[in-house]
Amino acid sequence: MMNRNIKKIIPLVFGVIFIQLLLTACNTLNVDKSEVDSNQASSEALLKSAGLSVDSVDEALLKAAKAVQDGQMDLAQLFYVKAYELEPKNMLVLQKMTDLYVQLGKNELAEVSLKLIVDQDPKNLKVREQYGLLLLKNRRYAAARSALEQVIAKQLSWRAFNGLGIIANVEGDFPRAEFLFKKADTILPNSPELLNNVGFALYSAYRFPEALAYYNKALQINPNFKKAIYNYALLQARLGKYDIAYNAFVKVASEEEANNNLGYIAMERGDYKMANNYLQEAIRLAPEFYKKANDNLKRLAILEKKNNELVPAK
């Protein structure tokens, strides 16, 4: 187990080294290099005082692997970054750093280290694809599109086509999203994920019968695929088949969430009585925290008032 001094040192040292990593990857950052150099000297002294200094990349990688094995992820990050400092162009070090950052959900750090690999090995399509998909995860859509398009220009990749389809869908270009998802499906047929994505592109374009066929196919292959179940429920609700939608929703969501979703969709469809019933039930099931349903009820009251004002008096 890490002693108390090491636990105090790691955040400070790692913060300093992260600035250095960013400075290397992006020279447009407003960071004073002399300050970084000074902090680096201080960090080295702290590392030595804590018994954490390393003399070689191999030693750093061994200590990092041991730290991961022991569940000491902060320490592992520190050793990987120290290995990077010793050999900034070591691809193995950069990849291991990336993998650990992804595992920890530190996607911005993973993006920085992956960019360093891409810059050093621009012909490596596997790494470029990984980089593009990470950019997509970080919602940097323009950069992600550029990286993934460079991949499909050289080879067929269902992951790259799928990523580009997600970007098209986010941007509201549903015909293109459908095309890209279907292209991915030709490379990896009968993938529930891809079938669900085609369905969602069709659903987004209000092509409900076609979307339903894709959701059904995805669920035939994997009846427990949560995304497809949820999307299937949304579609059934849009069609006004609330009972079918509810039975699907409660397989992947709480009862209060199911009722709130149905209330919201019923409200969008103009089924105000049904909307009120579902939203009231959501609040009854979870009165202490279900703010969403209360917000939807307020919106429903406004819509009902507007609707009543449009109805001619008898």
Looking up residue 54, the CATH number of its domain turns out to be 1.25.40
Its pTM stands at: 0.77
Residue 312 lies in a domain: yes
Count of beta carbons in the 10 Å neighbourhood of residue 147: 25
Tell me, yes or no, whether 264 lies in a domain. Answer: yes
Reported as a single tens digit per residue, the pLDDT across 179-204 is 999 999 999 999 999 999 999 999 99
Burial class (CB in 10 A: 0-12, 13-18, 19+), 211: buried
- Is 201 a domain residue? no
Q: Which of 76-85, 214-223, 292-301 has the lowest average pLDDT?
A: 292-301
Q: For residue 150, is pLDDT > 50? A: yes
Average the pLDDT over 43-61 and give the result: 72
Percentage of the chain modeled with pLDDT above 90: 51
Residue 191's identity, in one-letter code, is S
Total domains in the chain come to 2
Q: Structural domain of residue 77, as residue ranges?
A: 1-28+42-121
Closest of 281, 217, 184 to residue 232, by C-alpha: 217
- Cα-Cα-Cα-Cα dihedral sign, residues 129, 132, 136, 141: negative
Q: Is 90 exposed, middle or buried (0-12, 13-18, 19+ CB in 10 A)?
A: middle
Of the residues 78, 99, 121, which one is the last residue of a structural domain? 121
Residue 14 lies in a domain: yes
Domain boundary pick from 121, 155, 190: 121
Mean pLDDT value across residues 205-219: 97
Query: Is 66 among the domain residues?
Result: yes
Q: What percent of the chain has pLDDT over 70?
A: 78
Q: At what angle do helices 242-252 and 255-269 cross, to 10 degrees?
A: 140
| Residue 311 confidence class, pLDDT cut points 50, 70, 90 | very low
Q: Is pLDDT of 23 > 70?
A: no
Residue 172 pLDDT more than 80?
yes
Give Cβ neighbours of residue 305 (< 8 Å, ≥ 6 apart): none
pLDDT for position 299: 75
pLDDT-based confidence at residue 89 (cuts at 50, 70, 90): confident
pLDDT, greater one: 297 or 9: 297
- Residue 168: inside a domain, yes or no? no
- Over residues 124-147, mean pLDDT: 94
Q: Is 104 helix (H, G, I), strand (E, B) or coil?
A: coil
Distance, in Å, from the CA atom of 250 to the CA atom of 240, rounded to the nearest integer, reads: 17
pLDDT tens, residue by residue, 220-267: 999 999 999 999 999 999 999 999 999 999 999 999 999 999 999 998
The most confident of the ranges 14-28, 47-61, 162-176, 273-287 is: 162-176
**Residue in 237, 201, 238, 231 with CA at minimum distance from that of residue 216:** 231
Domain boundary among 106, 121, 136: 121
The 10s digit of each residue's pLDDT in 264-288 is: 999 899 998 899 999 989 988 987 6
Given this model, what pLDDT does residue 304 score?
A: 64
Q: How confident is the model at residue 48 (pLDDT cuts 50, 70, 90)?
A: low
> Rounded CA gap, 202 and 67, in Å?
47
Q: What does the pLDDT read at residue 78?
A: 81
Q: How far apart are CA 283 and CA 260, in angstroms?
A: 8
Average pLDDT rounded to a whole number, residues 205-214: 96
Q: Considering only 135-144, 273-282, 284-293, which range has the smallest mean pLDDT?
A: 284-293
282 assigned to some structural domain: yes
Q: What is the mean pLDDT of the chain?
A: 83
Please report, to the nearest 10 degrees, the dihedral formed by the alpha carbons of residues 260, 266, 272, 275 taken in order. Answer: -20
Q: Has residue 203 been placed in a domain?
A: no
